[in-house]
Amino acid sequence: MSTEKRAAARRGNMERKIIHLDMDCFYAAIEVRDRPELRSEPVAVGGLSTRGVLTTCNYAARAFGIHSAMPTFMALRKCPHLIIVPIRFDVYRFESKRIRSIMQEYTNLVEPLSLDEAYLDVSDSKRSVTTIAQEIRRRIRKTTGLVASAGVAPNKMLAKIASDWKKPNGLFRIASDEIDLFMTDLPVSKIWGIGKKTAEKLLAKEITTCGQLQTFSSLELTHMFGKFGGNLYELCRGIDNRSVTPNRIRKSISVERTFSSNLGSLDQCIDKTREIYQELQEDLFNLKSDRPLAKLFIKVKFSDFSRTTVERAGLEISEPSALELLKEAFKRKNLPIRLIGLGVRFAISPNAQSHQLEFAFQAKVH
């Protein structure tokens, strides 16, 4: 694709001013803020038992190779003096709402991705987008005592990449006339939608940068990656026409438990699944949604850390149905079980499918 064609492809969005705001180590930062004596210590948030899982950690902990979703026992091996604090979702939600209210003073086009990050479209503002991003970051710091990084760009993909460019406590802008040069050496792993398997497939072909990926035609990429190949052809050139969508559609809701001791029998699993089902029912009630439920699913993690998921459409959302799925999952491996997750998927109308976002309740570690 020539420079002229790339410019034409972007022309419709040239005036868009997108900010991606990302709180730095959000949960851990809140815990350190509330306990200043931890400021210079490696801190993680998550399960306190050795069978728990970390939700996040601060940069001092990351220096030891610790990261989110890491089992607690593994993190303690890497950093024996790691300080682990319990999850306080009520506090994190409260701070998230305060941050969200600041964003919404600048635009109605705020698209939350999670409690700690969101896109903002400030295209209608006559002010500099960089100035707005700086001001929002300053206000968040003053109001909450927490630090945010921001990325500024003409589209969502580039704004998200930019917010990570100068972390922590950074601001980075990618201007329209800088996109071609910026994309040339950008690692393909930074592209929105590229997961571990796609990255491995690209590496096998010795493709590590977007510039290298740009040498392939749309037809060649479609042949290699199916429908996503067509998207990849545009994304590796910095083209992303997705709009900032304030009202995202929740696709599912689930509850998980990681157990302090493995469950060795089906009866033990049944007892725990009944408890989890009751928690799921409470969460559905509190959600106050009248949307129809399409599927019930159960996720099981075995003692060897392998996982299996069983889900079924048309099944009554009930405790007996949950136990039926559990029994099917339990039979797939003759191993003790360390985690059970239970959830439902909502029915999505066809015209809303392009705006889906899957939510899941954070693991409730016991």
Kindly report, residue by residue over 323-351, the tens digit of the pLDDT.
999 999 999 998 999 999 999 998 865 44
Low-confidence ranges of the chain (pLDDT < 50): 8-13, 350-366
- pLDDT for 233 equals 94
DSSP 232-300: HHHHTTT---PPP-SSPEE-EEEEEEEEEEEE-SHHHHHHHHHHHHHHHHHHHHHHT--PPEEEEEEEE
Structure tokens at 16: 């868009």
Mean pLDDT, the chain, whole residue set: 87
pTM, 2 dp = 0.72
Reply yes or no on whether 117 is catalytic.
yes
Q: Write the class of the CATH domain 11-174.
A: alpha beta
- pLDDT for 285 equals 73
Angle between helix 218-225 and helix 196-204 axes, rounded to 10 deg: 120
Q: Please give the Cα distance from 21 to 312 (Å, whole number).
A: 37
Choosing among 3.30.70.80, 1.10.150.20, 3.40.50.1980, 3.40.50.970, the CATH entry for 180-235 is 1.10.150.20
- pLDDT for 199 equals 85
Kindly report, residue by residue over 291-318, the tens digit of the pLDDT.
788 899 999 999 998 999 999 888 888 8
CB atoms within 10 A of CB 228: 15
- pLDDT for 198 equals 84
- pLDDT for 365 equals 38
Residues 6 or more apart from 127 whose CB is under 8 A from it? Answer: none
Q: Which of 31, 111, 117, 234 is catalytic?
A: 117
Q: Please give the Cα distance from 193 to 161 (Å, whole number).
A: 12
CB atoms within 10 A of CB 51: 18
3-class DSSP state of 112:
strand
β partners of residue 19: 120, 152
- pLDDT for 358 equals 33
Q: Are residues 249 and 356 in contact, defined by beta-carbon separation less than 8 angstroms?
A: yes
Q: Are residues 170 and 213 in contact, defined by beta-carbon separation less than 8 angstroms?
A: no
In this structure, the dihedral spanned by the alpha carbons of residues 194, 200, 206 and 210, taken in order and rounded to 10 degrees, is 10
- pLDDT for 351 equals 45
Q: Identify residue 208 by its one-letter amino acid code.
A: T
Q: CATH number of the domain at 249-365, please?
A: 3.30.1490.100
Kindly report, residue by residue over 216-253, the tens digit of the pLDDT.
999 999 998 888 888 899 999 999 999 999 876 778 88
- pLDDT for 349 equals 57
So where are the chain's domains?
11-174, 180-235, 249-365
Q: Please give the Cα distance from 268 to 321 (Å, whole number).
A: 17
For residue 36, whether the previous peptide bond is cis, meaning omega lies within 30 degrees of 0, is: no
